[in-house]
Structure 1
Amino acid sequence: MFKLKLPFPPSVNTYWRHVGNRVLVSKKGRQYQASVSSLLHRKDIKTHEGELIVDIRLIPPDRRRRDVDNSLKALLDAMQFGGAYYDDAQIVRLTVEKHQPEPDDPHAEVVVQHVPAPIGKAGFRTCLRCDVAFESTGPGNRICEDCSLLNSMLPSAMPIPRGRKYHNGDLMGERQEDRL
């Protein structure tokens, strides 16, 4: 298992370029691959074999509307190019979260781990609340025992930070008369 903080990936819209009848990775895409590859080599990450679980948290540079799936291709390909795994077909479980923008530090936090058990069976998971690894009792168990206990005692003690949704600078779900 390894955890990395990578640069924020380029969108798939800028990742590819058409040259004649060929489709190539753009200059921006090649630069991203080189920076991720360099970081993986500095961290001395060994190439993982077998089935993998990848958890990604995207922290964008601004509030512009972005689809999370547009960032995945560049990120996963760059990790493969850098030698984190042989092929992104090894990934059997992929989770992606988009968080509040950080203009000073846009990045992608990536956790790669081996699949401890067949999908749907008990095995190793990462808690959705505290990010600590724990032994899961099944596919529906995504919160560790400590967080479950805390939830039962004080449900509001540890709220999950959720971002507000904006569209064109306005908070979504808020009525016009509520803003006046």
Structure 2
Amino acid sequence: MITVILPYPPSANRLWRNGKGATYKSAEYVAWLAEAQAAIPMQARGQIRGPHSVLIEVDRPSRALRDIDNRAKPIMDSLKDQKYLKGVIRDDSDTVQITIRWTGAEPVKPARVRVTVTPEKM
């Protein structure tokens, strides 16, 4: 089992932008990915290869209404292997289950995300 604490992610609705005939990562997403991926090697030792389950516990940053499922995509992307950085998981295609929940009803400053990845025996 590997647990990491990540910064609060942007919504899935804000990850990609279109322009000049191409789709690209938004500046907000690029900045968040860099921060999240820098935090992972300092916290995680090793990597889970193969089937795994993921528990995502998200702090509320405010009382504003938010869709919790829009947080899963950037979080899962931050966990996988990158060009020059080994991730917590090889790839999110190995994920067999994702559970995501708010940590509570009240806002937390600064809002963070706790991610626990557990190997699955198939």
The alpha-carbon deviation at position 48 of structure 1 amounts to 1.9
Q: Is the 8 A contact 1:32 1:78 kept in 2?
A: no
1:87 matches 2:101: no
Question: Which digits, 9 at most, give the CA deviation of each residue in 1:1-25, with x for residues without a partner?
Answer: 1112211111012111112222111
Task: Mark the runs of 5 or more structure 2 residues left unpaired by the alignment.
Answer: none
Answer with 1 or 2: which has the greater Rg: 1
Count of residue correspondences: 117
Gaps of 5+ in 1: 119-180
Higher mean C-alpha displacement, 46-55 vs 16-25: 16-25
Counterparts of 1:94 and 1:103, CA distance in 2: 23
Gap change, CA 1:41 and 1:93, over 3 Å in 2 = same
Q: Return closer, same or farther for 1:106/1:22 CA change in 2, 3 Å cut-off.
A: same
| CA RMSD in angstroms, aligned pairs only | 1.6
Q: Give the distance between the partners of 2:106 and 2:71, measured in 1 at CA.
A: 15
TM-score, normalised via structure 2 length: 0.86
Greater relative contact order (CA < 8 Å, ≥ 6 in sequence):
2
TM-score, length of structure 1 as denominator length:
0.60
Structure with higher strand content? 2
State the SS of the aligned residue for 2:105.
Answer: coil
In structure 2, relative to structure 1, the CA distance for the partners of 1:22 and 1:47 (3 Å cut) is farther
How many percent identity over aligned positions?
25
